[in-house]
Amino acid sequence: MGRKDADRAYVVRYAAEDILNWRTERINGRNTVTMVALRELVEVPEEADAFKAKKIEQVRVLRLVAHGASRTGDQPPTMQQDGAHGVTRPTEWRYIVEVWQCNPDDTSSDWVMVEMRTPSRRGKPLPLIPFVFHGPRNALPDVDKMPLADIIHVNLDHYRLDADYKHGLHFTALPTAWVSGFDKTSELRIGSSTAWVAEAPGAVAGFLEFKGHGLSTFENAQDRDERLMAVLGSRMLEDTKRVGETADAIELRQAGENSILMTLALSLSDSISQVLRWVYWWNSTEPFPEDVSESLVLLQINTDFTAKGLTSLELTAIVGAWQAGAISQATMFDLFRKGEVLPTGRTDDEEKNLVQAGQPSASRTGKFQNGQENPTGVFPNGPSGQAPTTPAATTSPATNPGAHGVTRPT
C-alpha cells in the first residue's frame, strides 16, 4: 500500500508457492505476523539492448520492526494506554519493506538489498503488516490440509491401477496365432484369402486368448477407488440414478460435497473481509486496522449451493406472515432474495416500483379499488392480500325526487 504515484490502496495476490517464509510473534497478547518473504518475477531492461527485457527473481520481505530497529526483535517497543478503547496498544511498531535481488556479477550468488522503504498513512508508518493469508479452513498462517487431499491420493492410486490394467490389456487382449506340426521353414500368412495346409498328420493350429481372472482384479480395484472418491465428495464418477428424485433427496445426497464448499466459502469470506477492512482503514480515520469492525466492512459469499428455491407453500407462508404483521416488508423481500425468487442485486425500492407498475389501479392513484389507502404500494389488492370487494349499495343518483323535493341515492 502507499504507492508514490497514487495515494490509494491496492491489492496484490500471491500464490502459496510464492510465500517463501513467514514468522509470527506474540505482541500485546496476540499472535501477529512480523515477517513475510515473497518471491517475485520482475522485468528489467537489458544493458546491451534497451528494447529487450529480461525477467529476474527477487524477494520482497515485509517486516514489522520496533522503533529505531532495522530487524524484528532488535529493540522492544514501548506501550501506551489507549484511553478511547481502554486497551494497551503497541505504539512504536512500524512496517518496512525490503527488496532483495540476486547479484548477477557475483559468482557466489549472494543476495543484495536493492530497496528499503517505510510505507506511511497520513504521515505515520503502518503499525501492522498489511498481509492476509487465505486458507481452506481459516485465515491463519498455519499450513493446513487441503480439502481435496484424500481424493487426490485416491485418484493417484486409480491412475496407477489404470496404467497396470492397460499394460496387461496390451499383452493379453490381441489373440496370438500358434501352429504345431507345420514345416518350420514355411511362411504362414494370416488373412481371409489364405489357408494353412500341413502334410504332416496331427498338425493343428489355433489362437492364444486370455481367459484368466488376473485383469478382473484391476477392474475391481478401480471400481473401489471410484466409489471411494464418490464417498469423499467427488460426484463426477458416481453413477447417476435413472429414477426421479425429489429436491430434498438431491440436497441430502449432495450434503457431503456442499460441506467442503461451505467451509471454503466461509474461510474465503473471512479473509476477503480482512482485505477489505485494510482498504477501508487506509481511506478512513481509524487509528488502528483492528478498529474497523464487521459492522463497517463485511463480505459474505453465498453458501446456498443447491438449485432448490422456495416452494409454493413457503411463499404463501411468508406472504401470510407479512400480511399478519409478523414480519416486515423488508424481511419478506430478504427471504424472497435468499429463496432465489428475487434476482440478486435488485433493491427493495426497485421491487416496490415493479409491483406498482404491474397494478395500475393502486399504483397510480395510491388507493385500492375499494377506496382504501395503499401506503406501501405492494400487493395493491389490499392489506389482507384478498381481492377488493365492491360495496353492496351503489352511489348512482336517482332521477325522481323524493317526497321533499330532493334527490336521494337509490
Amino acid identity of residue 74, one-letter, is D
34: exposed, middle or buried (C-beta count within 10 Å: 0-12, 13-18, 19+)? buried
Going residue by residue through the chain, which has 410 residues, state the pLDDT in tens, using 9 for 90 and above.
444 545 788 899 999 999 999 999 988 888 899 999 999 998 888 878 878 888 889 999 999 998 665 554 444 444 444 444 555 454 578 999 999 988 766 566 688 899 999 998 888 899 999 999 998 888 888 888 887 788 888 889 999 988 888 888 887 777 888 888 888 888 888 888 888 888 888 889 888 877 777 778 888 888 888 887 777 765 544 444 545 556 555 555 555 555 777 888 888 999 999 999 999 999 888 888 888 988 889 888 877 766 677 888 989 999 999 999 999 999 999 888 888 888 878 888 998 888 888 765 544 445 544 454 555 445 544 444 444 444 444 444 444 444 455 555 55
Same domain, yes or no: 23 and 119: yes
Final residue belonging to a domain, choices 75, 90, 125: 125
Same domain, yes or no: 116 and 156: no
CB 33 within 8 A of CB 26: no
* Cα 319 to Cα 331: distance, rounded to the nearest angstrom: 11
* Cα 218 to Cα 161: distance, rounded to the nearest angstrom: 6
Query: Is residue 53 assigned to a domain?
Result: yes
* Cα 230 to Cα 235: distance, rounded to the nearest angstrom: 5
CB 205 within 8 A of CB 179: yes
* Cα 230 to Cα 238: distance, rounded to the nearest angstrom: 6
CB 381 within 8 A of CB 358: no
79: Cβ contacts below 8 Å, ≥ 6 apart: 28, 88, 89, 90, 91
Length of the chain: 410
Same domain, yes or no: 88 and 182: no
CA 73 from chain centre, in angstroms, equals: 37
169 is in which domain, residue-wise? 149-190+206-256
Same domain, yes or no: 66 and 161: no
Query: Is residue 73 assigned to a domain?
Result: yes
* Cα 235 to Cα 229: distance, rounded to the nearest angstrom: 8
pLDDT per position as a tens digit, 68-96: 655 544 444 444 444 445 554 545 789 99
Amino acid identity of residue 319, one-letter, is V
Which grid coordinates belong to 234?
467427488
Same domain, yes or no: 83 and 157: no
Q: Which residues pair with 33 in a beta bridge?
A: 24
Final residue belonging to a domain, choices 125, 160, 180: 125
Under DSSP, the state recorded for 209 is -
Same domain, yes or no: 21 and 120: yes
368 C-beta neighbours (distance < 10 Å), count:
19
pLDDT per position as a tens digit, 176-208: 888 888 888 888 888 888 888 888 888 898 888
Query: Is residue 308 assigned to a domain?
Result: no
Residue 161: in which H helix or E strand, if any? Answer: helix 149-172
Query: Is residue 359 assigned to a domain?
Result: no
Same domain, yes or no: 54 and 110: yes
Torsional class of 371: left (φ above 0), alpha (ψ -120 to 50), beta (otherwise): left
Same domain, yes or no: 177 and 219: yes
Same domain, yes or no: 119 and 153: no
Which grid coordinates belong to 325?
404483521
CA torsion angle for 203, 208, 212, 218 (degrees, to 10)?
170
38 C-beta neighbours (distance < 10 Å), count:
18
Query: Is residue 68 assigned to a domain?
Result: yes
Extract the runs of DSSP E, i.e. beta strands, from 203-243. 204-208
Which grid coordinates belong to 56?
529476474
Query: Is residue 40 assigned to a domain?
Result: yes
The number of folded domains in the chain is 2
CA 191 from chain centre, in angstroms, equals: 60
Same domain, yes or no: 100 and 156: no
pTM: 0.59
Same domain, yes or no: 157 and 235: yes
Query: Is residue 218 assigned to a domain?
Result: yes
CB 35 within 8 A of CB 65: no
7 C-beta neighbours (distance < 10 Å), count:
13
Same domain, yes or no: 84 and 117: yes
362: exposed, middle or buried (C-beta count within 10 Å: 0-12, 13-18, 19+)? buried
Q: What's the farthest any 2 CA atoms get from each other in the chain?
A: 142
Q: Which residues pair with 409 in a beta bridge?
A: 397
Query: Is residue 81 assigned to a domain?
Result: yes
